[in-house]
Structure 1
Amino acid sequence: MRVVFMGTPEFSVPVLRALAADHEVVAVYSQPPRPAGRGKKERPSPVHQTALDLGLEVRTPLNFRSDEARADFAALKADIAVVVAYGLILPQAVLDAPAKGCLNIHASLLPRWRGAAPIHRAIMAGDAETGVCIMRMEAGLDTGPVLLRAATPIAATDTTGDLHDRLSGMGARMILDALDHIDGLIPVPQPDAGVTYASKIDKAEAHVDWTRPATDLIRHINGLSPFPGAWTMIGTERIKLLRAAPAAGAGTPGQVLTGFTVACGKGALGILEAQREGKRPMPAAEVLKGLHLPETLS
């Protein structure tokens, strides 16, 4: 089929590659290049760069408010559009342009976790599972009927980074299945019960409050890993905590028990992976080789 692909972050890249291998991708839409890195030079998004590597046409409109932008999209005469974490709201004229409409790949089991950060929020809430839905898009926020869905369990030590990679691969496989059977799939409306919204992650959420129960903090740390990264202060240095697991022990909140085991408001947790300022992520044992832990973390 003639496919328009619309996506921006790394999560969307495996989907683009899968589509390009099996279908005619007539254009790729992505967010415009943004300043990044120490030099703040404009850098194309991961999808933009991948499309260039594949020799595909890339378009980066700021929005679809103008008649020209909508007409340019319609002129592609696409059979279908596939949208994965694009970052722009599509007006009805764009949704209606492809002959078979627009499909969205969403990283949750809808209607749970509609919105911007479904992977983070699923882990932070302690969900037992999450998954991917292929949804026919409509004007509402992730409200469209679901064509395909698949679930995956969330392990106790899964981070957002772990789930990100797993769900991205699932989405790439599922969209090919969806396109192969598009005329026979039955759209299932989302139920009104069970709707939750995955609000965008605020960096202010990242500071670890050791007075919270260990169970909550493990979800908090793993859910914010690798970005933005939950953190605690050790001396004057901000240390990112990137993976945690349950541990035996108890003490006052923030008290370092043994190794990188820390007492919480209830119970204790063990830090399995962390990152010092200006350093790469490392196993906790490696971090501790050059870091003196105080009696209590803050």
Structure 2
Amino acid sequence: MRIVFMGTPDFAVPTLTEIVARGHDVAAVYTRAPAPAGRRGLDLTPSPVHRIAEGFGIPVRTPRSLRSEEELAAFQDLAPEVAVVVAYGMILPQAILDVPELGCLNLHGSLLPRWRGAAPIQRAIMAGDRETGVAVMRMEAGLDTGPVGLVERIPIGPDMTAGDLHDRMMLVGADLMARALAALERGALAFTPQKAEGVAYAAKIEKAETRIDWTRPAREVHDRIRGLSPFPGAWFPLGADEARVKVLRSTLADGAGEPGTVLDDALTIACGAGAVRLLEVQKAGKQPAGAAAFLSGNKVPPGTRLA
């Protein structure tokens, strides 16, 4: 089929790669404009999708808005049968949604209608969900409200981080979208409206959510740590200079004490109920390190009280 692909981050790269491998005609790739990089922000860095598209020799477009008559006309000129959207990062106006004959398909990282919105992977883990998935949805004007064509369920392991789940989802999602396109081409892709019950919104992660609150139960602390790992990262201040220490991996542990108290030589920290053991941390300006390596260069003896 003739396809326009719209995506930006690493998460979208396997889907584009799979679409090309399946022999579809990708008329153009739309992605976010190159972002400033470098210490002074003078260098412009193309998105991961931009780079892979150029490698395939596919024309790349980076409009800052799709709402102008000029952009609509340019999109129409591509004459796509279908548009595939994966973490594009821009809202598609109704006029754009109406162009492809077979609609616009979005790959979304949740079991819709649970976790519509910007941060479905992180929110699922932070909420303690034991299962999530990827869904192929036909887009409409509402926020992730369109009918669903295909779903693949993915279990969330007890110590799985958002990074782990992201990497699993992007591969499963690429295969799911390829299967959806094959079914669509045969006229065999049926869409089911989302249920009105069970709607949850995955709001963008705010900075205020990232500091660890040791007074919360250990399960909540652990879920927040893994749901925010590796980015933006749950953190706590350490030492007189209150240097930020980001926690990248943790696990539930035995132990009890005043919240924030270091209970042993293995970075087990008491919470409001129960305890968590910090397995991998990263001090500001340093590389990630396991607990033993971190403790060899930082004094955090048992009895230390973390803020």
TM-score range, shorter chain: over 0.9
Q: Deviations over 1:31-66 (max 9, x none)?
A: 111112423222111111221222211101111111
Q: Distance in 2 between matches of 1:128 and 1:135?
A: 22
Q: Secondary structure at the match of 1:181?
A: helix
Runs of at least 4 residues off by over 6 Å: none
Question: 1:165 aligns to what?
Answer: 167
Q: Deviations over 1:141-176 (max 9, x none)?
A: 000000000111111100000000001001100011
| Residue range with higher mean Cα deviation, 114-123 or 10-19 | 10-19
Please say if 1:21 is aligned against 2:27.
Answer: no
Please say if 1:296 is aligned against 2:305.
Answer: yes
Q: Deviations over 1:104-144 (max 9, x none)?
A: 00000000000000000000000110000000111100000
Q: Distance in 2 between matches of 1:59 and 1:289?
A: 50
State the Cα distance separating 1:26 from its structure 2 match. Answer: 1.0
Question: 2:259 aligns to what?
Answer: 253
Q: Distance in 1 between matches of 2:204 and 2:59?
A: 30
Question: 1:2 aligns to what?
Answer: 2
Q: Distance in 1 between matches of 2:139 and 2:176?
A: 16
Question: 1:215 aligns to what?
Answer: 219
Q: Secondary structure at the match of 2:32?
A: coil
State the Cα distance separating 1:16 from its structure 2 match. Answer: 1.0
Q: Given the alignment, which residue of 45, 51, 54 partners 1:52?
A: 54
Question: 2:33 aligns to what?
Answer: 32
Q: Distance in 2 between matches of 1:227 and 1:119?
A: 12
Q: Deviations over 1:254-274 (max 9, x none)?
A: 000112100011110001111
| Residue range with higher mean Cα deviation, 34-43 or 115-124 | 34-43
Structure 1 unmatched runs, 5+: none
| Residue range with higher mean Cα deviation, 183-192 or 47-56 | 47-56
Aligned pairs for 1:64-143 (under 5 A) are 64-143=66-145
Task: Please report the RMSD computed on the Cα atoms of aligned residues, expressed in angstroms.
Answer: 1.0
| Residue range with higher mean Cα deviation, 132-141 or 276-285 | 276-285
Q: Distance in 2 between matches of 1:12 and 1:79?
A: 20
Q: Distance in 2 between matches of 1:94 and 1:139?
A: 10
State the Cα distance separating 1:184 from its structure 2 match. Answer: 0.6
State the Cα distance separating 1:251 from its structure 2 match. Answer: 0.6
Q: Distance in 1 between matches of 2:132 and 2:293?
A: 32
Aligned pairs for 1:138-217 (under 5 A) are 138-182=140-184, 183-217=187-221
**TM-score normalized by structure 1?**
0.98
Q: Distance in 2 between matches of 1:273 and 1:10?
A: 23
Amino acid at match of 1:2: R
Q: Distance in 2 between matches of 1:285 and 1:54?
A: 44
State the Cα distance separating 1:282 from its structure 2 match. Answer: 2.3
Percent of aligned positions that are identical: 56
Amino acid at match of 1:158: M
